[in-house]
């Protein structure tokens, strides 16, 4: 039997229906918004991987530094036999964890991008031929049906992606993750930390313009999937630090007054000149906040590790 299987937990048209609902809802309200999960088609996933190598985008390197330093400790305290990774993407950093877990039975990468999942699984299996890989194409914010695999389970949610959820969504999400855990299981959570605004803004508005291309990619996705006629170059990429809510917002700012047609929704959307479409929130955290949010979901923070420069944190918590 092949050690690789892939399950689409979304029915055939679920992605299309969800995109239509999100676009209709987000573009007919004020201010206009789109959820960040739609960035990640094949092109968007490649652009994101490129972002992680930019000099300004520190979170990936900071998190990798922590993983390298702490993987053995994580393996020791969790004794994980199943690793479930939410938003696994290229599974690049996960290698450090997998290498520290020689007794791992099953790796369950969960992502909305099927292309990222199959690419990651292929390269992983080349190095770890014995490992069972059960990939799930799923939206992990909507409740997961996990395969039956041996415990203890370690659920990893890396990269700071939890910061893409708004506070109420985050609370619901952490509660649903808590529901996946049995006694002895653990959650490994990556959170980017509050820091100087100029460092944060540069990380989301790099000099080479890769983040701008990534941001505008969501318009191409809507064009392709819903037949819309967005001109990505009619929008400027903007990154804003919200000091009160302690999050970065990525926006697309209309360079002119324009009307965009979205045939699949039978919709015409007007943008004023200078009007913003919010495409992403990326919240930044403090230790007390993370501990409190975990506690509210019934999870106890047991370990808190940061990189040398205190930019990013990995935390371990148990049910």
Query: What is the rounded CA–CA span in Å between residue 280 and residue 221?
Result: 15
148 is in an annotated binding site: no
Query: Residue 87 in 3-state DSSP?
Result: coil
Query: What does the block give as tokens for 206?
Result: 């790099």
Contact region with ligand AVJ (CB under 6 A), list: 101-109, 129-137, 159-167, 291-299? 159-167
Q: Smaller CB distance to ligand AVJ: residue 60 or 318? A: 60
Least separation, in Å, of the C-beta of 91 and ligand AVJ?
Answer: 13
Helix axes 210-226, 14-27, angle to 10 degrees: 110
Map the footprint of ligand AVJ across residues 223-282, applying CB under 6 A.
250, 280, 282
Binding status of residue 63 toward ligand AVJ by CB under 6 A: no
| Whether the Cβ atoms of residue 309 and residue 199 lie closer than 8 Å to each other | no
| Whether the Cβ atoms of residue 130 and residue 105 lie closer than 8 Å to each other | no
| Whether the Cβ atoms of residue 155 and residue 176 lie closer than 8 Å to each other | no
Query: Residue 185 in 3-state DSSP?
Result: coil
Binding status of residue 160 toward ligand AVJ by CB under 6 A: yes
139 is in an annotated binding site: yes
CA 215 to centroid of chain Cα atoms: 14
**How many residues at the interface with ligand AVJ, by CB under 6 A?**
12
Binding status of residue 33 toward ligand AVJ by CB under 6 A: no
Query: What is the rounded CA–CA span in Å between residue 212 and residue 21?
Result: 25
87 is in an annotated binding site: yes
Binding status of residue 204 toward ligand AVJ by CB under 6 A: yes
Q: Smaller CB distance to ligand AVJ: residue 154 or 165? A: 165
204 is in an annotated binding site: yes
Sign of CA dihedral 121, 125, 128, 129: positive
In angstroms, the first-to-last Cα distance of the chain is: 34
157 is in an annotated binding site: no
Least separation, in Å, of the C-beta of 309 and ligand AVJ?
Answer: 17
Q: Smaller CB distance to ligand AVJ: residue 35 or 75? A: 35
Query: What is the rounded CA–CA span in Å between residue 11 and residue 221?
Result: 19
Least separation, in Å, of the C-beta of 283 and ligand AVJ?
Answer: 9
114 is in an annotated binding site: no
Contact region with ligand AVJ (CB under 6 A), list: 132-140, 156-164, 171-179, 296-304? 156-164
Instruction: Select from 19, 32, 20 the least CA-distant residue to 267.
Output: 20
198 is in an annotated binding site: no
Binding status of residue 44 toward ligand AVJ by CB under 6 A: no
Query: Which residues of this protein are in contact with ligand AVJ, per CB under 6 A?
Result: 51, 59, 159-161, 163-164, 204, 211, 250, 280, 282
Query: From the annotation, which residues make up the binding site for S-adenosyl-L-methionine?
Result: 87, 93, 111, 139-140
């Amino acid at each position: 039997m092949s050690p690789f299987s892939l399950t689409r937990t979304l029915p055939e048209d679920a992605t299309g229906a969800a995109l239509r609902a999100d676009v209709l809802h987000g573009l007919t309200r004020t201010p206009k918004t789109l959820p960040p999960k739609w960035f990640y088609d094949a092109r968007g996933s490649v652009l994101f991987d490129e972002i992680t190598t930019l000099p300004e985008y520190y979170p990936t390197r900071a998190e990798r530094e922590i993983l390298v330093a702490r993987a053995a400790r994580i393996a020791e305290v969790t004794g994980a036999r199943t690793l479930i990774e939410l938003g696994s993407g290229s599974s690049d950093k996960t290698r450090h964890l997998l290498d520290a877990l020689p007794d791992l039975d099953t790796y369950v990468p969960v992502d909305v991008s099927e292309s990222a999942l199959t690419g990651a699984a292929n390269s992983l299996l080349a190095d770890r031929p014995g490992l069972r890989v059960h990939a799930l194409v799923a939206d992990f914010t909507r409740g997961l049906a996990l395969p039956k695999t041996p415990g203890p389970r370690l659920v990893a949610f890396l990269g700071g992606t939890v910061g893409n959820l708004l506070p109420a969504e985050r609370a619901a999400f952490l509660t649903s993750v808590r529901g996946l855990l049995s006694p002895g299981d653990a959650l490994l959570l990556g959170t980017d930390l509050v820091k100087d605004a100029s460092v944060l803004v540069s990380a989301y508005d790099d000099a080479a313009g890769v983040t701008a291309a990534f941001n505008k990619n969501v318009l191409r996705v809507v064009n392709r999937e819903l037949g819309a006629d967005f001109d990505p170059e009619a929008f400027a990429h903007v990154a804003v630090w919200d000091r009160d809510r302690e999050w970065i917002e990525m926006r697309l700012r209309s360079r002119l007054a324009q009307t965009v047609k979205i045939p699949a929704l039978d919709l015409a959307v007007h943008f004023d000149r200078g009007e913003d479409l919010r495409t992403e929130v990326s919240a930044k955290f403090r230790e007390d906040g993370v501990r409190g949010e975990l506690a509210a979901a019934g999870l106890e923070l047991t370990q808190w590790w940061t990189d040398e420069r205190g930019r990013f944190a990995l935390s371990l918590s148990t049910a």
